[in-house]
Amino acid sequence: MICLVDTGASAERTFLTDSGASLRLAPGDWSNALLDGVVRLHLSGYLLFSEQSRALVAAALESARARGVPVSLDPASAGFLAELGVDRFLALIEGVDVLLPSRDEACLLTGLPDPADAAAKLSRHVPLVVAKQGAEGALVAEAGAVRARVPATPATPRDTTGAGDAFTGAFLAALLVGVEPAQAAAEGCRAGAAAVAGVGGRPPSGTRQNRGAVGLD
């Protein structure tokens, strides 16, 4: 992956992406034992962009459903989604409980220009949709309607690389300790703000603020 970061006020980044090892994962790499002791499964959307890794996703979803393990998925890339096709993507994620798209991904998946309308429409396909909106926070949608508009945590952006992943990690960690989706999204926004305030896609070594924020310490 090559990441280009704008040093201007927005600190936005552009990725030239190779999906790497995820495209080489196959059903043989999956084992039902991987869910032993697991209370939530999170999948990367990059797994949907090759035939063999799609088969692994199908096996993982089937196993998770059989065990009652909820599954979340991040669509990964609007560009790859456009290549795969919206209808095909939505069919492949049948059974996913939580979808975490970016604004661009949500709009692409619905054909709607307004991200709130897009999130609401997606929540007719997936029980819980949390659309990441960058500096505008996040939208939480369920049962065909936006249930919460969560404001962003103020931050001075230096590099937006990893902000979406930080949001997703903190959001899911909050769900694991019983936090409601809107508050979990607020924790995600806090983590995203911390991510954009630093340079690079990984938190500083020893960082504990996000763990404490969601009650993991």
* Domains detected in the chain: 39-197 (3.40.1190.20)
pTM for the structure as a whole:
0.86
Cα separation, 6 vs 13, whole angstroms = 6
Per the model's pLDDT, the better-predicted residue between 15 and 79 turns out to be 79
pLDDT at 70: 98
Helix (H) or strand (E) run with residue 181 in it:
helix 181-196
pLDDT at 162: 86
Cα separation, 167 vs 32, whole angstroms = 28
Q: What is the mean pLDDT of residues 123-149?
A: 98
Name, in order, each residue with C-beta under 8 angstroms of 205's C-beta and a sequence gap of 6 or more: none
Q: At what angle do helices 115-122 and 103-110 cross, to 10 degrees?
A: 60
Q: What is the mean pLDDT of residues 99-110?
A: 98
pLDDT at 160: 83
Cα separation, 205 vs 129, whole angstroms = 31
